[in-house]
Chains A and B, each alone.
Chain A
Amino acid sequence: MAALVTPLTISVARVWEGATCSLDWAAMNPSAGISRNANDGLGALSGVRVLDCSDARAIYGAKLLADLGADVVRPEPPEGDPLRARGPFIGDEPGPERSLWYAYYASSRRFLTLDRDSPEGRDRLRRLALAADIVIDNGWLPASGIEPEALLAERPSLVVVNSTSFGPDGPWRDYLAPDLVASALGGICATTGDARTPPLKIHGDLVFVTSGTYIAIGALAALRHMRESGEGQIVDAAVHEALPTALEHVLLYAWYSDLVDWAETPVLPRQGSMHFTTVYEVLQAQGGGIMVTPTPDPEAQLAWLVEEGVHEDLLDEKWQDPDLRMEYAQRMMDVMRSWVPTKEVGALFEEAQARHAPYGRVLPPELLVENPQLEARDWWQQYQIDGTQTRGPGPPYRFARTPWRVAPPERGDDNEAPAPVNSVLNAIGWTE
């Protein structure tokens, strides 16, 4: 059956001559630029082969590996990867090459058509897995009748990362958990929003960014062990276990509220932007919101309020009592709640940072794309998506010698009727 996916035209200008930052970041980093060698300029994971059978739950993990230079091959069914239907689209017109969601999450891949409902397709999948260093899977393998243990028996050095919503066993094993449900069960929604809103999900797919990042950690840790010992393995990663590890105060309240004075109850109800410490909060200034805090130097904050003549009772002697430390911080926040609305947001932010106060202006996306810091750091990358040239997101980290880059995606097959497996492996270069 001829593949229905049209040849991909997502491509990105290669930006990997040296560092991705044209600002001479290496020179500005006094301790940068250690040894130089012939491999400088290649991605850190150059030469590592990854078979990417992920869905939304692990795709960000495969992206991390791909953007760091691994050779990540992503099979998709003849009718195309369902994730190509995720919006937003170029011009709001859906199309397999037009998903901006996919352009971000499926960056730097090589794609090939694979019909896992056919014996040839399943054999192809098995042979691809055996030719890889790492397999990331959200269920393609078992759906194709391939057991990871069988792969390892044939190739003991293989690393298979098995991503599930809840783990391979247990009462919720078969529960369906798209982002909102995973967030609710994983403890996130209970933290976000306030008394006037329902519990809320985080923007976008940040929950699956968390689970995906653990996928990359598990894959690379297992790869390291394999390099040391020759021994591969299976790494099981459940979204439902990933989320509770990264909830800052939530588990601490449940475990230790009896022991600490900063947790009055085992559960902290949703309280909007106010951090659990109560000393960070978003307030409305003139022209927009701003996160304010009297920390880490409350004396400096007090001095500023005094300069402005808005300090109210904060200079009273009673606040010298060390037992009233928390009440004092909360009183100062009260004073700031009256003061901030009288100030223009941009000027307030600049003055705060000039005074080394860690205020943060609430920036919407339209101010980010003109942000002087990102501009100066040359953070934006060039993307070409279905013939459309655009700026797009840059790196989450910078490597001085083996740079991150978003590479043009490629097809690993010629999009025709399924080819013999060996020619596919030859075509993608995964033969010994």
Chain B
Amino acid sequence: MTRPLDGIRIADFTHVLAGPFGTRILGELGADVVKVSTTERAIGIAADGLDPYYIQWNRGKRSILLNMATKEGRKIGRALCARADVVIDNFSPGVLDRWGMDNEFLHYANPKLILVSMSGMGVGGPWSGYVTFAPTIHALSGLTSLTGVPGRDDLGIGFSYNDHAAGMHAAVAVLAALEARRRDGAGQRIEVAQFETGVNFLGPSLLDLLVNGRAARASGNRLPYDLAAPHNCYPCRPFAAAVPGEEDRWVAIAVMTDAQWHALRSLMGDPAWAHDSAYETAAGRVAAIDAIDRQMAAWTQTQDAEAVMERCQAAGVPAGVVQTGVDLTRRDPQLQATSFFTVAEGDHPSIGTQHIDRVPLRFSATPVENYARTRMPGEDTEAVLGEWLGMTAAEIRRGEESGALT
């Protein structure tokens, strides 16, 4: 079955999460993504099999082993880049150049190449050499200071949001560059400096600071610039089917209009406190937000989260259970109705059943239907070197003997 990106070849030198997440999306949309790894630098590759973390982010790709520390390995690496539509890496600047993928090479060997470099800080500037992982970027980009509660700057986002976001932006950049290349025949270099990607997400708050002089701070679940109340997560009755890790149960309620406030008030049984005339407007409710939050929590603590959600939504009040990963994968009726989860075809050598969260894009003409298991490192070396480079079995054997294919 045709996929939207069929025929696009991507040489993928990225590692860990940000780059691999972006290339996973491109691979599952049909691109031939060749992940280049080496056992000399075994990230996520252990003697007893692959870690689920590696397996999750590296679906949708073929896998070759290539030792760029050897002359033969570099020769093969250059040949792959000469045949690729896209090369993507997250090495320090200059590494690709040392391997011979420099300006001249690109100009003469593959002027249509789209070369995407992902780095923490980007090339140039006093911080260019800084070492960054996602939590570093979160802290430096302002994301940590702005997610949390007033008075604390030590919370931040509870997972590597910026890695996912940067990888997705790299995917957008690749697709946009392919369109440009179609128009004018030429590739180009693209840089994704993850620090800058992250700072970009503060957009309106940065403008607020620069125009109004107001520095944003974490505001819990309140909206810092708009009037909405009640607008919070409220504790509910313990969940009967809770598994370890689900010791508490919460529901989010977001009243965005006065009409929604009236509907909520009514379904709570019209308690006297909610009929305070000061609460008739959003501004009035926001001014009393602490008191309202206390009253809301007193009510929700007597309720099941699911029941609150269903009754609220039936009355046109936005509300949602605070779902865990177990909720999402085992209980969520909407994701079940849309068959969002599936399993890979065939068992995975390391983990057996490989669970799949589908690409969240459903194409009417080029659907993504089947999901293959994640490849083992080096599983596709022969096939890729044969298909991309026309290398014969004998040539591949020589490459193995020289230590280039480890």
Contacts and interface: CB of A to CB of B under 8 A. Distances in A.
A282 B147 CA distance: 13
A86 B205 CA distance: 12
B173 A397 contact: yes
Contact of A282 (B154, B159, B196): B154
A396 B357 contact: no
Contact of A204 (B132, B204, B221): B204
Contact of A184 (B113, B143, B168, B320): B320
A404 B86 CA distance: 19
A288 B160 CA distance: 21
Interface stretch (A302-310, A327-335, A366-374, A409-417): A366-374
A168 to B, nearest CB: 9
A368 B318 contact: no
Interface stretch (A123-131, A238-246, A314-322, A423-431): A238-246
A280 interface: yes
B188 A206 contact: no
Given A241-B360, A365-B209, A377-B124, A358 B97 contact: no
Contact of A200 (B154, B178, B182, B233): B233
B188 A390 contact: no
A191 interface: yes
Interface in B357-373: 357-366
B292 interface: no
B156 A282 contact: yes
A324 interface: no
A187 B324 contact: yes
A90 B226 contact: no
B105 to A, nearest CB: 8
Interface in B314-341: 316-330, 332-335, 337-338, 340
Q: Which one of A103, A267, A293, A390 has the greatest number of beta carbons of chain B within 10 Å?
A: A267
Question: For B7, B103, B211, B319, which residue has the most chain A Cβ atoms within 10 angstroms?
Answer: B211
A405 interface: no
A209 B220 CA distance: 19
18 contacts: A39-B183, A86-B226, A90-B212, A175-B320, A179-B254, A202-B143, A204-B202, A209-B201, A220-B178, A234-B363, A235-B364, A251-B325, A267-B244, A289-B145, A291-B144, A360-B140, A377-B124, A401-B186
B142 A198 contact: no
A197 B330 CA distance: 26
B323 A187 contact: yes
B172 interface: yes
Given A214-B361, A280-B133, A172 B333 contact: yes
Nearest to A198: B233
B238 to A, nearest CB: 14
Given A191-B159, A251-B357, A270-B158, A391 B210 contact: yes
Given A245-B357, A282-B154, A167 B207 contact: no
Interface stretch (B51-59, B264-272, B394-402): B51-59
Contacts of A282: 135, 139, 144, 153-156
B304 interface: no
B384 interface: no
Nearest to B124: A28
Contacts of A101: 204, 225
Given A33-B103, A35-B107, A392-B210, A44 B180 contact: yes
B165 A399 contact: no
Nearest to B350: A259
A265 interface: yes
A25 B132 contact: no
B144 A233 contact: no
Given A363-B141, A391-B210, A30 B103 contact: yes
Contact of A221 (B93, B210, B317, B361): B361
A166 interface: yes
Interface in B191-205: 191-193, 195-197, 199-205
Interface stretch (A71-79, A114-122, A271-279): A271-279
A7 interface: no
Contacts of A172: 313, 333-334
A203 B156 CA distance: 9
Interface stretch (B71-79, B245-253, B385-393): B245-253
Nearest to B216: A365
A150 interface: no
B215 interface: yes
Query: What 10 A-B pairs have minimum CB-CB distances, sorted nearest first?
Result: A267-B245, A87-B225, A360-B139, A191-B158, A360-B136, A376-B125, A184-B252, A241-B360, A254-B325, A220-B175
Nearest to B118: A397
A170 B365 contact: no
A388 B210 CA distance: 11
A364 B175 contact: no
Contacts of B36: none
A272 B154 contact: yes
Contact of B325 (A64, A213, A267, A275): A267
B173 to A, nearest CB: 5
A86 B225 contact: yes
B214 interface: yes
Q: Give the size range of A's interface with the partner.
A: 35 or more
> Which among B107, B129, B366 has the highest number of chain A CB atoms within 10 Å?
B366
B358 A374 contact: no
A247 B123 CA distance: 29
Contacts of B130: 353, 358
Q: Among the interface residues B244, B256, B362, which one has the most CB atoms of the partner chain A within 10 A?
A: B362
A204 B232 CA distance: 14
Interface string A205-217: 0100110011011
B262 interface: no
B111 interface: yes
A65 B177 CA distance: 12
A37 B245 contact: no
Contacts of A173: 334
Nearest to B116: A397
Given A34-B189, A365-B146, A392 B207 contact: yes
B180 to A, nearest CB: 4
B139 A363 contact: yes
Given A221-B363, A393-B199, 5 more contacts: A217-B361, A267-B245, A288-B153, A365-B202, A401-B186
Nearest to A259: B351
Contacts of A202: 143, 147, 157, 161
A14 interface: no
B325 A402 contact: no
A361 interface: yes
Given A217-B168, A289-B144, A182 B320 contact: yes
A88 B207 contact: yes
